[in-house]
Chains A and B, each alone.
Chain A
Amino acid sequence: MKEQKNIFNWQPDRSKYPKVKENGELDIDLTSEKFIKLWQGPNHPGVTGNMAIELTVSGDEVVHAKTHVGYLHRGFEKLMERRLWIQCFPTCIRMCVAEPDYNEYLLAKSAEELSGIEVPEMAEWLRTLVLEMARLQSLLRTVPGQAGTLSLGVGVQWGVYLRDLVLDLFEELTGGRVYHMYILPGGVRGLLPDGFKKRMEDVLKKIEEFIVNIENLMFKNIVFKKRTIGVGYIDPAWVDQFGIVGPNARAAGFKRDVRKDYPYLKYNELDFDVTYETDSDIFARSVVRKKELILTLDLIRQIMAKMPEKGDFKAQTPNVLHWKIPAGETYVRSESSRGEYGFYTVSDGSTMPRRINLRGPSYTHAVSLLEKMLINANLADVHSIMVSLQTCPPEIER
Chain B
Amino acid sequence: MENYIEDIKLRFDVKDIVSRRDNLSFITCEKEKTIALITHMKNNLGFTHFVLLTAVDWIEDGLFQLTYILNNPNAKIDIAVRTMISRENSEMESAHKLWQQVATYQRELREMFGINFPDSPGVTDNFILEGWDDIPPYRRDFDTKKYAEETYFPRPGRETNDPAEYMKKKLS
Verify B99–A73 contact, CB threshold 8 A: no
B residues contacting A by CB (< 8 A) are 18, 20-21, 23-24, 26, 48-52, 54, 56-57, 67, 69, 73, 76, 78, 80, 99-101, 103-104, 121-122, 125-130, 137-138, 140, 142, 144-145, 163-164, 167
A242→B99 CA distance, assembly (Å): 7
Known: A70-B129, A78-B144, A240-B99. A329 touches B26 (CB 8 A): yes
Verify B101–A368 contact, CB threshold 8 A: yes
A372→B104 CA distance, assembly (Å): 13
On chain A, which size bracket covers the interface?
35 or more
Verify B100–A242 contact, CB threshold 8 A: yes
Verify A368–B167 contact, CB threshold 8 A: no
| Chain A 334-356 near chain B by CB (<8 Å), digits 1 or 0 | 00000010101010000000110
A365→B163 CA distance, assembly (Å): 39
Please pick, from A78, A331, A372, the residue contacting B69 in the complex, using a CB distance under 8 A: A331
Verify B122–A23 contact, CB threshold 8 A: yes
**Which residues from chain A contact B101 at a C-beta distance below 8 Å?**
241-243, 364, 368-369
Known: A69-B127, A321-B164. A344 touches B20 (CB 8 A): no
Known: A79-B144, A331-B78. A321 touches B163 (CB 8 A): yes
Residue of A nearest to B57 (CB): A355
- The answer, yes or no, to whether A82 is at the interface (CB within 8 Å) is yes
A-B contact pairs, 16 of them (CB 8 A): A73-B129, A113-B21, A241-B99, A241-B100, A243-B51, A261-B73, A262-B76, A321-B167, A328-B18, A331-B51, A333-B51, A344-B52, A344-B80, A346-B56, A359-B51, A367-B104
Known: A69-B127, A355-B56. A331 touches B137 (CB 8 A): no
**Which residues from chain B contact A367 at a C-beta distance below 8 Å?**
104
Name the residue among A82, A240, A372 with the largest chain B CB count within 10 angstroms: A240
| Chain A 143-162 near chain B by CB (<8 Å), digits 1 or 0 | 00000000000000000000
For the complex formed, measure the closest distance between the CB of A99 and the CB atoms of chain B, giving whole angstroms.
19
A residues contacting B by CB (< 8 A) are 23-24, 69-70, 73, 75, 77-79, 81-82, 84, 87, 113, 240-243, 256, 261-262, 321-322, 328-331, 333, 340, 342, 344, 346, 354-355, 357, 359, 363-364, 367-369, 372, 397
Verify A397–B48 contact, CB threshold 8 A: no
A171→B21 CA distance, assembly (Å): 35
For the complex formed, measure the closest distance between the CB of A298 and the CB atoms of chain B, giving whole angstroms.
24
Query: Lowest 10 A-B CB distances belong to which pairs?
Result: A70-B128, A357-B54, A24-B122, A364-B101, A359-B52, A243-B101, A240-B48, A355-B56, A368-B101, A367-B104
Verify B125–A24 contact, CB threshold 8 A: yes
A292→B48 CA distance, assembly (Å): 26
